[in-house]
Structure 1
């Protein structure tokens, strides 16, 4: 069998008839009084041996999930062993566990032969070779032309994609120049530092994650990003802002697809020309809309921090300040102040809290300060406003 096993086929009458036949009812096996009977327990350490019996042999799954490997003219075929079968005389076969311990019943008679055969390698080729166990951080950052990060090392993988501008990455003493539309991956425990080129601002995406892979499959070099990979990044950014119960699954699945494209060589290395940043569009309007929602929610619970809002949106505070001003015309702080007083009026009108409680809930330093600022804005104190509301 050449290549890799993508899936294991089920046992069907037509596909199995050259090796034996399927058995519809396990009751038929209880009639084999003249046969030797045994319960066989298989584990991953099972010896790589195939058997052939001089008489028909009957096998039946008992517990766990197993695979049946049969040979025809020394060519192996693999089946998911989920039903009882009869194997013809002189047909070589073996039963192996699939991801867990497995046991089966065997009914046999007469003598049998056995010989070494590496069937485990065939079954292992069906296993997943790369898995993303966790995404630790996902952060889009905008920095000025003098940006410098002095460096760190950590026990997980990290991907960095340059969306706007240019960056220099220093990895274990080696320098890499990253242009717009290029990406680099740091291995665990590699010391890495970055700095801008002092010519223009820079925007980049950082993803830190835990990866398990067979062999040295991911090379540390700069990759140029094509449209398909940018689409994967877009989905991940969208899910990082959506934050529902399946967002983590979507992000991990798309990160795995991205890495698999790198491993297969479907993403070109550095020498290709850069792609304009416009191809990698981040939905800034959606970020601003979500930021407004988080501010309102935070204020109503007495906890509204710009840094925390930026963290929940997976962007830097400087990026949040910039795009908020761009799309609203106001700074984040101005919006927070306006929203705080708007909520204050609603709470006063509701009448379920007194002035001191409202002041504390909206994080004013004191009721007196709250009353002073309220009057400066609306021309009346909170108590005067409450009376006017009640009269209405």
Structure 2
């Protein structure tokens, strides 16, 4: 739950007034709040009075400049911020406005802190844009589907029997109440052996991050009771076909996918079962990290690493998740961006040349990733350090 400034937790930073007419001020200023990220907090040498005048505004406040100890409060009623306390604002929504009031001789300065502070907004990690098709399949013994790949996501849930599938030459075996996800453009086959197999196929168009994509693919999930209930709700909605049942079908599938993402995190957190296995993983991950560093000035990707070390994509994902708590693609990207800051500081290359040296597909993509990580675009960073 969000804290409001009217909560008792706020009292260590100031006070709350239930009648805004209780005080008069020499200086009143309206601030328009638009930035999602903060690099500094305000500090005043006298008490400051604040109220929200438009939209919903989050007050970020602290007695220290260490972001670990920043507190957040939704501004509710007129508040006083004690002198010497650090504070700033973040809009909850696209924009908000606050009124700040203080005495004429009050000095307010910016106090910069290390890093960037961002409010964790509650947004969906993924979204099913369209349910393209869905089938209930009953396959006889010795069925063989020679394979395909297409532009959509495909989810296969085994109702009964055993289904054999390969994804880009990696073999998987699914039993009742197990599920597998095929990503767009992943070539896959399906087959049965001695028994009949029935399974549901869902084909969807989905907006999802690359990191979450990696959590879903190349693994078999044993789905939870709640996910099985969601599949049953999907089937029921399909049978009812009332005005809003299409929404129910998509919501049911989104619940299943969300459950799979949570399950993948639990699976990736499993540590090596023996000291010998852990030693093997340590040696393997060290070799991989050395290889990445040696090839950081190329367009290195996950597929190249898998080919070089003769391991599957899922094995590589597990190694990084278990030992570094990060996806390999994200690790490579972060390392390239850190290297780019060093190259910018050297002042030997243009921003375009740096993007090319580090293997980014375009300067626009490099600039976007740089700003996502550091909160400032490369040109602004260069100007800042060269002043």
Structure number, greater radius of gyration: 1
Q: 2:73 matched to 1:79?
A: yes
| Contact 1:62–1:104 (8 Å) recurs in 2 | yes
The secondary structure found in structure 2 opposite 1:190 is coil
Distance 1:58 1:222, change over 3 A: same
The secondary structure found in structure 2 opposite 1:98 is strand
The secondary structure found in structure 1 opposite 2:211 is coil
Please give the alpha-carbon distance, in whole angstroms, between the structure 2 residues aligned to 1:96 and 1:179: 49
1:56 corresponds, among 47, 55, 68, to 47
- The residue aligned with 1:163 is 159
Please give the alpha-carbon distance, in whole angstroms, between the structure 2 residues aligned to 1:119 and 1:99: 23
- The residue aligned with 1:318 is none
Please give the alpha-carbon distance, in whole angstroms, between the structure 2 residues aligned to 1:104 and 1:82: 11
Distance 1:219 1:17, change over 3 A: same
Deviations along 1:113-165, whole A, 9 cap, x unmatched?
Answer: 32224796451264443444443333222233354444333333221011122
- The residue aligned with 1:223 is 221
Q: 2:59 matched to 1:68?
A: yes
**What's the CA shift for 1:83?**
3.4
Distance 1:194 1:76, change over 3 A: same
Deviations along 1:5-37, whole A, 9 cap, x unmatched?
Answer: xx42223252322211223244456x32x12x3
Please give the alpha-carbon distance, in whole angstroms, between the structure 2 residues aligned to 1:66 and 1:189: 43
Q: 2:260 matched to 1:262?
A: yes
**What's the CA shift for 1:55?**
1.1
Distance 1:116 1:206, change over 3 A: farther
The secondary structure found in structure 2 opposite 1:93 is strand
| Unaligned residue ranges in structure 2 (runs of 5+) | 268-387
| Contact 1:59–1:107 (8 Å) recurs in 2 | yes
Residues 234-313 of structure 1: pairs in structure 2 closer than 5 A: 234-265=232-263
**What's the CA shift for 1:223?**
1.4
| Contact 1:223–1:267 (8 Å) recurs in 2 | no
| Contact 2:42–2:88 (8 Å) recurs in 1 | yes
**What's the CA shift for 1:184?**
0.6
Please give the alpha-carbon distance, in whole angstroms, between the structure 2 residues aligned to 1:144 and 1:13: 64
**What's the CA shift for 1:92?**
0.9
Please give the alpha-carbon distance, in whole angstroms, between the structure 1 residues aligned to 2:77 and 2:130: 37
**What's the CA shift for 1:206?**
1.2
Q: 2:184 matched to 1:193?
A: no
The secondary structure found in structure 1 opposite 2:93 is coil
Q: 2:198 matched to 1:209?
A: no
Distance 1:237 1:44, change over 3 A: farther
| Contact 2:6–2:77 (8 Å) recurs in 1 | no
Please give the alpha-carbon distance, in whole angstroms, between the structure 1 residues aligned to 2:51 and 2:35: 19
- The residue aligned with 1:180 is 176
Please give the alpha-carbon distance, in whole angstroms, between the structure 1 residues aligned to 2:76 and 2:152: 39
The secondary structure found in structure 1 opposite 2:97 is strand
TM-score (ref. length: structure 1): 0.58
Over aligned residues, Cα RMSD in angstroms? 2.9
Deviations along 1:260-280, whole A, 9 cap, x unmatched?
Answer: 3322237997xxxxxxxxxxx
**What's the CA shift for 1:227?**
3.0
Distance 1:215 1:85, change over 3 A: farther
| Contact 1:67–1:80 (8 Å) recurs in 2 | yes
Between 1:181-190 and 1:241-250, the stretch displaced more is 241-250
Work out the number of aligned pairs and report it: 259
- The residue aligned with 2:120 is 124
Distance 1:228 1:100, change over 3 A: same
TM-score (ref. length: structure 2): 0.59
Please give the alpha-carbon distance, in whole angstroms, between the structure 2 residues aligned to 1:188 and 1:48: 39
Deviations along 1:344-379, whole A, 9 cap, x unmatched?
Answer: xxxxxxxxxxxxxxxxxxxxxxxxxxxxxxxxxxxx
| Contact 1:162–1:180 (8 Å) recurs in 2 | yes
**What's the CA shift for 1:204?**
0.7
1:135 corresponds, among 123, 131, 137, to 131
Between 1:124-133 and 1:88-97, the stretch displaced more is 124-133
Deviations along 1:167-210, whole A, 9 cap, x unmatched?
Answer: 2223223332223332111112222232333x333211112234
